[in-house]
Structure 1
Amino acid sequence: MLLDILLILHLQVLVIASSSSAEEDGSSEREAEHSKGSSHQHHWGYHDQELWLSAFEHCSGKSQSPINIDTDKVSYDPKLPPLKLEGYDLTGSTALTLINNGHTLQLSLPSSMRIMRGFDQVFVAAQLHFHWGTKEVPGSEHTIDNVHFPAEIHVVHYNTKYANLAEAARKADGLAVLGGFIGIGLHDNDNYEKIMSALSDISIEESDTEIPGFNVRHLLPDSLDRFYRYNGSLTTPPCFQTVSWTVFNDSIRVSRRQLAALEDTLKTEHNKLLSKNFRAPQLLHGRKVLASFHTGRTLGKAKALPAETEDSNTMESSGHILTIVFGALFAVTLLVFSVYTYRQRKKYSKFKKDSKQNVIYKPAVVDMDQTSVTVT
Structure 2
Amino acid sequence: MLLKLFILLLLLVQDQVLAGETHSSSSEEDGSSEHDDDEHEKSSSHEHRWGYEDQEAWRSAYHDCNGKSQSPIDIETSKAIYDRSLPAIKLDGYDLTDQPGLKLHNNGHTLQLSLPSSMRILKGFDEIYLAAQLHFHWGTIEVPGSEHTIDNVHFPAEIHVVHYNSKYADLAEAARKKDGLAVLGGFIGIGLHENENYEKILSALTDVSIEESNTMIPGFNIRHLLPNNLEKFYRYNGSLTTPPCFQTVNWTMFNDTITVSRRQLAALEKTLKAGQNQLLSKNFRAPQLLHGRRVLASFSASPSVDSANTNTFTGEKSLPKVKTSGTFDDMSKGDVLAIAFGALFVMTLLGFSAYAYQQRKKYSKIKKDTRQNVIYKPATKEEV
TM range (shorter): 0.7 to 0.9
Partner of 2:144: 138
SS in structure 2 of the partner of residue 201 of structure 1:
helix
Asked if 1:226 is matched to 2:226, the reply is no
Could you report, residue by residue, the CA deviation over 1:56-85 in whole angstroms, capped at 9, with x for unpaired residues? 000000000000000111110000000000
Query: C-alpha distance in 1, partners of 2:127/2:250?
Result: 12
- Unpaired segments of 5 or more residues in structure 1? 1-18, 343-376
Q: What RMSD, in angstroms, separates the aligned Cα atoms of the two structures?
A: 3.4
Query: C-alpha distance in 1, partners of 2:348/2:203?
Result: 50
Offset of residue 97 of structure 1: 0.5
Partner of 2:217: 211
Cα distance, 1:258–1:318 mapped onto 2, change above 3 Å: farther
Partner of 1:274: 280
Query: C-alpha distance in 2, partners of 1:36/1:165?
Result: 7
Partner of 2:35: 36
Asked if 1:116 is matched to 2:122, the reply is yes
Match of 1:309 among 317, 331, 345: 317
Offset of residue 120 of structure 1: 0.6
Partner of 1:87: 93
SS in structure 1 of the partner of residue 70 of structure 2:
coil
Partner of 2:112: 106
Asked if 1:65 is matched to 2:67, the reply is no
Contact residue 98 and residue 105 of structure 1 kept, 8 A: yes
Amino acid of the structure 2 residue aligned with 1:253: T
Amino acid of the structure 2 residue aligned with 1:291: A
Structural mapping, 1:1-376, within 5 Å? 27=25, 30-32=28-30, 34=32, 36=35, 40-41=45-46, 43-297=49-303, 306=310, 308-310=316-318, 324=342
Cα distance, 1:25–1:324 mapped onto 2, change above 3 Å: closer
Offset of residue 110 of structure 1: 0.3
Cα distance, 1:242–1:320 mapped onto 2, change above 3 Å: same
**Regions of 4+ moved over 2 Å:** 22-30, 32-35, 37-40, 301-314, 316-335
Cα distance, 1:51–1:120 mapped onto 2, change above 3 Å: same
Amino acid of the structure 2 residue aligned with 1:27: S
Could you report, residue by residue, the CA deviation over 1:277-324 in whole angstroms, capped at 9, with x for unpaired residues? 000000000000000001334xxx67696563349999x979967984
Contact residue 74 and residue 295 of structure 1 kept, 8 A: no
Partner of 2:13: none
Could you report, residue by residue, the CA deviation over 1:137-174 in whole angstroms, capped at 9, with x for unpaired residues? 11000000000110000000000111000100000000
Contact residue 263 and residue 275 of structure 1 kept, 8 A: yes
Amino acid of the structure 1 residue aligned with 2:207: D
- Number of corresponding residues: 318
Cα distance, 1:78–1:265 mapped onto 2, change above 3 Å: same
SS in structure 1 of the partner of residue 183 of structure 2:
strand
Could you report, residue by residue, the CA deviation over 1:185-242 in whole angstroms, capped at 9, with x for unpaired residues? 0000010000110001110000011110000000000000000000000000000000
Amino acid of the structure 2 residue aligned with 1:309: K
Amino acid of the structure 2 residue aligned with 1:156: V
Query: C-alpha distance in 2, partners of 1:139/1:253?
Result: 14
SS in structure 2 of the partner of residue 218 of structure 1:
helix
Query: C-alpha distance in 2, partners of 1:29/1:177?
Result: 21
- Unpaired segments of 5 or more residues in structure 2? 1-16, 322-331, 361-384
Offset of residue 23 of structure 1: 6.6
Query: C-alpha distance in 1, partners of 2:116/2:320?
Result: 39
Larger Rg: 1
Query: C-alpha distance in 1, partners of 2:336/2:211?
Result: 45
Cα distance, 1:64–1:24 mapped onto 2, change above 3 Å: closer
Could you report, residue by residue, the CA deviation over 1:245-304 in whole angstroms, capped at 9, with x for unpaired residues? 00001010000000000000000001000000000000000000000001334xxx6769
Partner of 2:3: none
Output the TM-score relative to the length of structure 1.
0.76
Partner of 2:372: none
